[in-house]
């Protein structure tokens, strides 16, 4: 049994939906279909979700809304016409879209979520109808009916544990269930959306609830690349990687999924495959809890820019009780978070994301650190990149660090930092941003190609 989730670009037009229907019909195991709202048809197109945001804002500010409602309805109508979907469905969608502006706009914390969720919700109704025109026994199911109960946190809802059991009760439906992604209902019956990447979360929750064998996530790429296509010409795609490996890659710029999206399937130990709606023959990238590491110790090389490093040195620092605690306190007082904190004997570096700092807050931070710690040396370095070489079992492989550092040394890439040993899944190198492309290429050609 499989959950299959389609992203917005896979559902943007009648042409794309033909591919989707073909995919669903191609495997009887695909019993649960999770859908996003219609995405962009072309580069310059507007997503239905963005139209809904504009519609919501116009409603809030009492501006004319007709322009938006017409365009949104038109997006569904085009697709419905192409498949000659039963008239009642479009009537329902239309009525729903027009009715949104009649909702109370004051003291209504769920208004924005209700507008946004309609994009997915109406699309699920439409797609269930499309499937039926194509001879597939399918029905739309509302998340409330399905039992998807969430915390009352508009825009940032969390699934409640009891939902899984309720979802499981739908496991043996004879029809394919078409489920709108991105939102659930509070116990009081209000619509609440997940944070960004919300349809991926819905797919992951349904996969965990239904205890399926596989969660298929259809996108518009063949899978996760081994390295950034901007740095390496036509990089390979990763065949298989573990959840932990994906987390490390995601952290360093491989933003395939929103951080929390795969938590439910991870906890339920359900594998996820990323596939391409436009190239479904491609095996895609499989995300598992465990993989055979003998064939491919390194799965990917990722990097991310925009880090700064604060260096603090003080003779006999390690004799001062609570020295690191005081550093953390200064960071907390200024609401700054840090990424890493490698420590030496008499020094410590704090790596943080630069975007947190303004000129003023940086000055304040440095002033506070100088005052609280009385260091011998204190300075900040900007413009750092973090490069991660990712692969399970990294620690057991004596040679990978040596190969990596040798490759970087040959290309004269200076290492500002190495972080190995915390993670069993990656080695992290801190370098100057200007050397990032050179470093990525050197590592790519060491472990791939």
Please state the residue numbers annotated as binding site.
5-8, 49, 120, 219-220, 225
Query: 225, 236 in Cβ contact below 8 A?
Result: yes
- The nearest distance, CB 314 to a second copy, in angstroms, is 11
Binds a second copy by CB under 8 A, chosen from 405, 433, 438, 448:
405
Binds a second copy by CB under 8 A, chosen from 418, 432, 437, 438:
418
- Count of residues for the chain? 449
Give the DSSP letter of residue 150. Answer: B
Buried b (16+ CB within 10 A) or exposed e, 120-137: bbbbbbbbbbbbbeeebe
Burial class (CB in 10 A: 0-12, 13-18, 19+), 421: exposed
Q: Parallel, antiparallel, or unpaired for β 300-313 and 347-353?
A: antiparallel
Site pattern 337..366 for a second copy (x: CB under 8 A): --xxxxxxxxxxx-----------------
Nearer to a second copy, 98 or 324 (CB): 324
Q: Which region, judged by CB under 8 A, interacts with a second copy, from 41-49, 55-63, 292-300, 424-432? A: 424-432
Q: For the residues of 13-43, what is the DSSP string, one character each?
A: SHHHHHHHHHHHHT-TTEEEEEE-----SST
Q: Is 67 in the site for a second copy (CB under 8 A)?
A: no
Q: Which region, judged by CB under 8 A, interacts with a second copy, from 59-67, 276-284, 426-434, 437-445? A: 426-434
- Residues in the interface with a second copy (CB under 8 A) total 59
Tell me if residue 369 falls in helix, strand or coil. Answer: helix
How far apart CA 82 and CA 330 sit, in angstroms, is 60
Burial class (CB in 10 A: 0-12, 13-18, 19+), 334: middle
- The nearest distance, CB 405 to a second copy, in angstroms, is 4
Q: Which of 223, 234, 227, 219 is nearest to 287 (CA)?
A: 223
Q: Is 215 in the site for a second copy (CB under 8 A)?
A: no
Q: How many CB atoms lie within 10 A of CB 148?
A: 25
Q: Parallel, antiparallel, or unpaired for β 138-140 and 176-180?
A: parallel
Q: Is 428 in the site for a second copy (CB under 8 A)?
A: yes
- The nearest distance, CB 253 to a second copy, in angstroms, is 12
How far apart CA 9 and CA 449 sit, in angstroms, is 30
Binds a second copy by CB under 8 A, chosen from 28, 88, 328, 370:
328
Q: Which long-range contacts (CB under 8 A, 24 or more apart) does 58-65 make?
A: 59/100, 59/101, 59/105, 59/115, 60/105, 60/111, 65/101
User: What residues are designated binding site for ATP?
Assistant: 5-8, 219-220, 225
Tell me if residue 261 falls in helix, strand or coil. Answer: coil
Q: Which region, judged by CB under 8 A, interacts with a second copy, from 33-41, 63-71, 144-152, 402-410? A: 402-410
Give the DSSP letter of residue 64. Answer: -
Nearer to a second copy, 220 or 347 (CB): 347
- The nearest distance, CB 172 to a second copy, in angstroms, is 30
How far apart CA 441 and CA 57 sit, in angstroms, is 45
Q: Which region, judged by CB under 8 A, interacts with a second copy, from 121-129, 200-208, 222-230, 399-407? A: 399-407
Q: Is 402 in the site for a second copy (CB under 8 A)?
A: yes
Binds a second copy by CB under 8 A, chosen from 214, 387, 427, 440:
427
CA distances from 356 to 28, 116, 267, 337, 339 (A): 49, 29, 31, 8, 12
Binds a second copy by CB under 8 A, chosen from 82, 160, 168, 311:
311
Both tokens of 414, joined, read 């200076």
Q: Is 164 in the site for a second copy (CB under 8 A)?
A: no
Q: For the residues of 86-108, what is the DSSP string, one character each?
A: -HHHHHHHHHHHHHGGGS--SS-
User: What residues are designated binding site for substrate?
Assistant: 49, 120
Nearer to a second copy, 171 or 326 (CB): 326
255-274 residues in contact with a second copy (CB under 8 A) are 259-260, 263, 266-267
- The nearest distance, CB 369 to a second copy, in angstroms, is 15
Q: Is 303 in the site for a second copy (CB under 8 A)?
A: no
How far apart CA 371 and CA 127 sit, in angstroms, is 62
Binds a second copy by CB under 8 A, chosen from 319, 355, 359, 371:
319
- The nearest distance, CB 424 to a second copy, in angstroms, is 7
Residues making contact with a second copy (CB under 8 A):
243-244, 247-248, 251, 259-260, 263, 266-267, 309, 311, 313, 315-316, 318-319, 324-325, 328, 339-349, 395-396, 398-399, 401-402, 405-406, 408-409, 412-428, 430
């Amino acid at each position: 049994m499989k959950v299959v989730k389609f992203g917005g670009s896979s559902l943007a037009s009648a042409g794309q939906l033909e591919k989707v229907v073909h995919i669903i019909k191609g495997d009887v195991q695909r019993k649960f279909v999770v859908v996003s709202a219609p995405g962009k048809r072309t580069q310059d197109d507007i997503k239905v979700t963005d139209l809904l945001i504009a519609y919501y804002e116009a409603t809030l500010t009492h501006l004319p809304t007709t322009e938006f409602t017409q365009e949104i309805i038109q997006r569904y109508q085009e697709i419905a016409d192409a498949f000659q979907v039963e008239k009642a469905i479009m009537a329902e969608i239309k009525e729903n879209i027009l009715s949104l502006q009649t909702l109370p706009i004051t003291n209504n914390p769920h208004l924005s979520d209700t507008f946004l969720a309609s994009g997915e919700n109406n699309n699920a109704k439409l797609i269930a109808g499309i499937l039926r025109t194509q001879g597939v026994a399918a029905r739309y199911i509302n998340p409330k009916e399905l039992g998807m109960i969430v915390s009352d946190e508009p825009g940032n809802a969390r699934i409640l544990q009891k939902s899984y059991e309720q979802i499981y009760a739908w496991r043996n439906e004879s029809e394919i269930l078409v489920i709108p992604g991105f939102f659930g209902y509070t116990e009081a019956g209000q619509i609440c959306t997940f944070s960004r990447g919300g349809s991926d979360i819905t797919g992951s929750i349904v996969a965990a609830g239904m205890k399926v064998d596989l969660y298929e996530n259809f996108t518009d790429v063949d899978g996760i690349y081994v390295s950034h296509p901007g740095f390496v010409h036509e990089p390979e795609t990763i065949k298989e990687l573990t959840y932990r490996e994906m987390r490390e890659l995601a952290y360093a710029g491989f933003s395939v999924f929103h951080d929390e999206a795969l938590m439910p399937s991870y906890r339920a130990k359900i594998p996820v495959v990323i596939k391409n709606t436009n190239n479904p023959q491609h095996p895609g990238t499989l995300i598992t809890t465990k993989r055979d590491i003998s064939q491919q110790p390194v799965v990917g090389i990722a990097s991310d820019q925009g880090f700064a490093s604060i260096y603090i040195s003080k003779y006999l620092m390690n004799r001062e009780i609570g020295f690191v605690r005081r550093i953390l306190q200064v960071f907390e007082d200024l609401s700054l978070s840090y990424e890493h904190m490698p420590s030496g004997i008499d020094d410590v570096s704090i790596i943080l994301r630069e975007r947190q700092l303004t000129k003023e807050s940086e000055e304040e931070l440095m002033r506070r650190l100088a005052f609280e710690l009385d260091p011998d040396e204190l300075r900040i370095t900007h413009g750092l990149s973090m490069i991660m070489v990712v692969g399970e079992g990294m620690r057991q492989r004596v040679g990978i660090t040596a190969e990596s550092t040798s490759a970087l040394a040959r290309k004269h890439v200076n290492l500002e930092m190495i972080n190995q040993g915390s993670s069993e899944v990656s080695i992290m190198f801190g370098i100057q941003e200007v050397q990032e492309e050179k470093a990525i290429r050197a590592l790519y050609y060491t472990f791939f190609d």
